[in-house]
Amino acid sequence: MKTNRTRLGISALFAMASFGLTIAGFADTMERTEDEREVDWRACQQLHARASGQVERVRAAYQACRTDNDCAIVDTSTDCGGTCGEVVNRAGVHQMRRLIVHLDATVCREHRRMGCPYGTPACLASRPVCAGGACTFAPL
């Protein structure tokens, strides 16, 4: 019985080695796919910063408030990267959503085309509040 196990073990090793060599030889003949091309990290960072800057401009334009009811959390994730959202005056929610659609169709389309990475931060549970006349996050 011990002999059978040894034979099966050696046969399995030969099969795995043969499969590995076949795959290695095949991989050398393959051309790089679009996902495997080199990424221009600086260009990716510039595109992401451009999208983030535009989101920040809209957020800044719609931050004024008088009460907590004036403020709302709006999703600002784009195809360039995920976010925890922003808190804006309710009057700016539609404008922010329009901006996100525009960024996805322009800046972030290029970001994806270039093979740039996509990341999303960990976000804390929060609620929108008006603090010092500006909409902001407060922990739950």
Domain encompassing residue 122:
38-139
List, in order, residues 6 or more apart from 118 with CB less than 8 Å away: 79, 80, 81, 82
In a domain, 118, yes or no: yes
User: What pLDDT, on the 0 to 100 scale, is given for residue 104?
Assistant: 97
In a domain, 25, yes or no: no
User: What pLDDT, on the 0 to 100 scale, is given for residue 37?
Assistant: 60
Smallest CA-to-CA distance from 61 within 97, 88, 29 is with 88
In a domain, 24, yes or no: no
List, in order, residues 6 or more apart from 121 with CB less than 8 Å away: 82, 83, 84
- Residue bearing the bigger pLDDT, 38 or 59: 59
Q: Tell me: pLDDT of 34 over 70.
A: no
Smallest CA-to-CA distance from 48 within 56, 60, 37, 38 is with 56
What would the mean pLDDT of 12-32 be, rounded to a whole number?
A: 37
In a domain, 121, yes or no: yes
Q: Tell me: pLDDT of 23 over 50.
A: no
Residue matched to tokens 């080695």: 17
What would the mean pLDDT of 70-92 be, rounded to a whole number?
A: 97
Q: Tell me: pLDDT of 91 over 90.
A: yes
Report the domain count for the chain.
Answer: 1
In a domain, 12, yes or no: no
pLDDT tens profile 52-74? 999 999 999 999 999 999 999 99
